[in-house]
A and B are shown apart, each in its own frame.
Chain A
Amino acid sequence: MTFRARHLLGIEHLKPDDIRCILDLSEHYVGLNRQPVKHADALEGLTQINMFFEASTRTQASFELAGKRLGADVMNMAMQASSLKKGETLIDTALTLNAMHPDLLVVRHPQSGAVDLLAQKVHCAVLNAGDGRHEHPTQALLDALTIRRAKGRLQRLTVAICGDIAHSRVARSNILLLGKMENRVRLIGPPTLIPARAAEFGVEVYDDMKEGLAGADVVMMLRLQKERMDGAFIPSEREYYHRFGLDADKLAFAKDDAIVMHPGPMNRGVEIDGTLADDINRSVIQEQVEMGVAVRMAAMDLLARNLRATLSQGAGHV
């Protein structure tokens, strides 16, 4: 085991060995999750607080299930409805939390960098469940696990990430992770949805699906984040679907055994054809959800080990 960090804030800070370590332990939990009795005690006695400043169903449920299966006491706090409305700042929230002595804090926040800021002020281990357009590390890890299981490896693959890259933290974390593991990453989307200077990330940028998908091993579709758009990015959903929506015709340009991924929730008929999404021979979208629980169990298990190691060294809560 090599993963020694106190928090999991982003893929940016991980080394390839850290990534392998988390994925290897995740495999163990995939096995456990398929047993009739799914309990483990890695987080026994620890308190996990899920703090979501932005609405989420899937990610929050996945973290909640992961914590409960490992024996943690899990509490959900829906922050968009509570203190923020009363003017409490993020720092005040951190101080309040410290007084409750949580061990693991899972945070989602609509602003880039907000989870980093919170992590500086709390005494527990922090997992970033998505901050603004910045990072969503557990999503990239679960995608990596899904790819590794489907393809038998996580290197020398050509991965096409398609759609709304600009507003996507999933894309940023995946670009970082796949790059660290020595894969070839392509970004495909209209120029309005590609971040500035994306070519400097060490990726190839395309604005044509057929060119971008040619020879791809993995096709990763992104959700069109209409809620983050504050102006004209695309002319209409039907033109977007025509040019960038994934259907069987476009997928034919990828390798014959290319897999199709989507972080969910899907806009069927906007970025992906509904039939294709349900095609069990190509789509691994359901598998991604399953891997999500296992990866989050592994990440929290490892952070809890580091937390206990720190405590046993007599450092106390630092």
Chain B
Amino acid sequence: MSVLLTNARLIDPEAGTETKGALLIEDGRIAALGPQVDAPAGAETVDCAGMCLAPGIVDVGVKVCEPGERHKESFRSAGLAAAAGGVTTIVTRPDTLPAIDTPEVLEFVTRRAREASPVRIKAMAALTKGREGREMVEIGFMLDAGAVAFTDGDRVVENTKVLSRCMTYARGLGALVMAHPQDPVLSAGAAATSGKFASLKGLPAVSPMAERMALDRDLALVEMTGVKYHADQITAARALPALERAKANGLDVTAGVSIHHLTLNELDVGDYRTFFKVKPPLRSEDDRKALVAAVASGLIDVISSMHTPQDEESKRLPYEEAASGAVGLETLLPAAMRLYHAGGIGLPQLWRALSLNPARRLGLETGRLGVGAPADLVLFDPDAPFVLDRFTLRSKSKNTPFDGARMQGRVLGTWVAGRRVFGGV
């Protein structure tokens, strides 16, 4: 079964190029691409009409609420949302109920995912049992069962001795450890970033310095143990120099950022709009600009949605009490187009952070446009305007900060392993 996608604007994050051309899919993989590709006999042809064709997005840190809170999101609903958003690989978080901290739970998740989701699902496992920060999980068994990284999600392992042992053990197995850099004491109870806005609104707030302190600690432990380390979200300008130094010193360190921290700031919270409550809290405009520059320069490696479904009951509460998190699988691409349309960052650069870097970091063979790579692709119109209505989202939970927002960027088609999972006739 062959499919030839013609007349496309090929976005190649590896080469850093945009070229007009065609791409041939055979047996689920990219068989050829270039300015001129001849269709083999019997191939189906899709005319891309000059639209952008890029590697499918690899979204690291998605919360699918199975097991435990299936009413908020299931593998089926998350998979459909991902397909509609151009996300071809969901990398799930282990902060479920119960946590994904044994090979048995991981196998359940893998089986459910395979049955229910049209896109690929890769699971991350907890770093410590019950995400309690005391005992490490069976990292070896979990690696064998397919875990791509180990993390306690947004819970910080406070005990540095426990964390250093987890890191040392993980290093021995070549496992990737992902952490949420946030000083847990300084940030306790915070609902906003300290500054004029939080002070006027009377919200308990945390200094962005809490992020840098925790990152500094983690980086010292990385230097000590030699582990492969990924910071899930760097959201403060003040944390960037530490990250830059660590990379310059040759530590095996990468960092991500959520699309919300790249496109929104603390003022968007306005009159206590809880759909804008995320973790860490939205930062200042200066921070946001520094983060965009860090993505453009490659200092920040990965952009993700940090998709976190919450039902209405968890959000319709006073701001401090309301749950944190926003859904993002379907809005990641159009929100990322805001960065592209604002200038200063090109599509190949964006796709480095959306596809190539996350795939490489997790050891996946997807995320690139190259002969032999899996045909995980997204076809999109970067300009098409629309106004987002949250009730049209495929996620079971509708907690998006972009409700009613004018956006640009429409996904026209999504392919996973050469099979079309979204769009088309």
Given contacts A89-B313, A116-B271, contact A109 B199 (CB under 8 A): no
B195 touches A89 (CB 8 A): no
A114 at interface, CB cutoff 8 A:
yes
A157 at interface, CB cutoff 8 A:
no
* Nearest-neighbor residue (CB-CB) of B192 within chain A: A112
Bound together, the chains give a CA A230 to CA B320 distance in angstroms of 16
95-137 of chain A: CB within 8 A of chain B: 109, 111-114, 116-117, 131-135
Residues of B within 8 A of A113 (CB): 201-203, 271-272, 318-320
A200 at interface, CB cutoff 8 A:
yes
Given contacts A113-B271, A116-B271, contact A197 B199 (CB under 8 A): yes
A112 CB to closest chain B CB (Å) equals 4
Please count how many residues in chain B sit with their CB below 8 Å of the partner chain's CB atoms: 21
Given contacts A112-B319, A113-B319, contact A172 B202 (CB under 8 A): yes
B317 touches which of A89, A132, A172, A197 (Cβ 8 Å) = A89
Residues of B within 8 A of A198 (CB): 199
Bound together, the chains give a CA A133 to CA B200 distance in angstroms of 9
B316 at interface, CB cutoff 8 A:
yes
B195 touches which of A90, A112, A169, A197 (Cβ 8 Å) = A197
Bound together, the chains give a CA A315 to CA B201 distance in angstroms of 32
Residues of B within 8 A of A116 (CB): 271-272
A201 at interface, CB cutoff 8 A:
yes
Q: How would residues 177 to 208 of chain A score, 1 for a CB under 8 Å from any chain B CB and 0 otherwise?
A: 00000000000000000011110110000000
Residues of B within 8 A of A55 (CB): none
Residues of A within 8 A of B202 (CB): 112-113, 131-135, 169, 172
Residues of A within 8 A of B199 (CB): 195-198, 201
B208 CB to closest chain A CB (Å) equals 11
Bound together, the chains give a CA A169 to CA B202 distance in angstroms of 7
42-86 of chain B: CB within 8 A of chain A: none
B196 at interface, CB cutoff 8 A:
yes
* Nearest-neighbor residue (CB-CB) of B313 within chain A: A89
B279 CB to closest chain A CB (Å) equals 18
Bound together, the chains give a CA A214 to CA B130 distance in angstroms of 58
A114 CB to closest chain B CB (Å) equals 4
A112 touches which of B189, B196, B201 (Cβ 8 Å) = B201
B324 CB to closest chain A CB (Å) equals 15
1-39 of chain A: CB within 8 A of chain B: 12
A263 CB to closest chain B CB (Å) equals 16
B318 touches which of A114, A197, A201 (Cβ 8 Å) = A114
Residues of A within 8 A of B317 (CB): 89-90, 117
B198 touches which of A12, A135, A196 (Cβ 8 Å) = A196
Bound together, the chains give a CA A167 to CA B316 distance in angstroms of 24
Residues of A within 8 A of B207 (CB): 196
Bound together, the chains give a CA A169 to CA B199 distance in angstroms of 10
B205 at interface, CB cutoff 8 A:
yes
A91 at interface, CB cutoff 8 A:
yes
B403 CB to closest chain A CB (Å) equals 15
A233 CB to closest chain B CB (Å) equals 14
Most buried by B among A169, A197, A230: A197
219-257 of chain A: CB within 8 A of chain B: 230
* Nearest-neighbor residue (CB-CB) of B207 within chain A: A196
Given contacts A112-B272, A116-B272, A117-B272, contact A172 B318 (CB under 8 A): no
B268 at interface, CB cutoff 8 A:
no
B6 at interface, CB cutoff 8 A:
no
B194 at interface, CB cutoff 8 A:
yes
Residues of A within 8 A of B189 (CB): 230
B321 at interface, CB cutoff 8 A:
yes
Bound together, the chains give a CA A134 to CA B132 distance in angstroms of 34
Residues of B within 8 A of A12 (CB): 200
B318 touches A91 (CB 8 A): no
Bound together, the chains give a CA A201 to CA B201 distance in angstroms of 12
Residues of B within 8 A of A91 (CB): 316
B200 touches which of A90, A132, A201, A230 (Cβ 8 Å) = A201
Bound together, the chains give a CA A84 to CA B130 distance in angstroms of 30
Residues of B within 8 A of A90 (CB): 316-318
Residues of B within 8 A of A109 (CB): 318
Bound together, the chains give a CA A114 to CA B318 distance in angstroms of 5
* Nearest-neighbor residue (CB-CB) of A113 within chain B: B272
* Nearest-neighbor residue (CB-CB) of B185 within chain A: A231
Bound together, the chains give a CA A113 to CA B205 distance in angstroms of 14
Residues of A within 8 A of B198 (CB): 196
* Nearest-neighbor residue (CB-CB) of A91 within chain B: B316
B196 touches A117 (CB 8 A): no
Bound together, the chains give a CA A113 to CA B203 distance in angstroms of 9
Bound together, the chains give a CA A200 to CA B321 distance in angstroms of 27
B141 CB to closest chain A CB (Å) equals 40
A111 touches which of B196, B313, B320 (Cβ 8 Å) = B320
* Nearest-neighbor residue (CB-CB) of B193 within chain A: A196
Residues of A within 8 A of B201 (CB): 112-113, 134
What 7 additional pairs, Cβ within 8 angstroms, besides A112-B201, A172-B202? A111-B321, A116-B271, A116-B272, A132-B202, A169-B202, A201-B200, A230-B189
9 cross-chain CB contacts under 8 A? A12-B200, A89-B316, A112-B201, A112-B202, A113-B319, A196-B195, A196-B198, A196-B205, A196-B207
A-B pairs, 7 with minimum CB distance: A133-B202, A113-B272, A195-B199, A134-B202, A114-B318, A112-B202, A111-B318
- Chain B residues within CB distance 8 Å of chain A: 189, 194-196, 198-203, 205, 207, 271-272, 313, 316-321
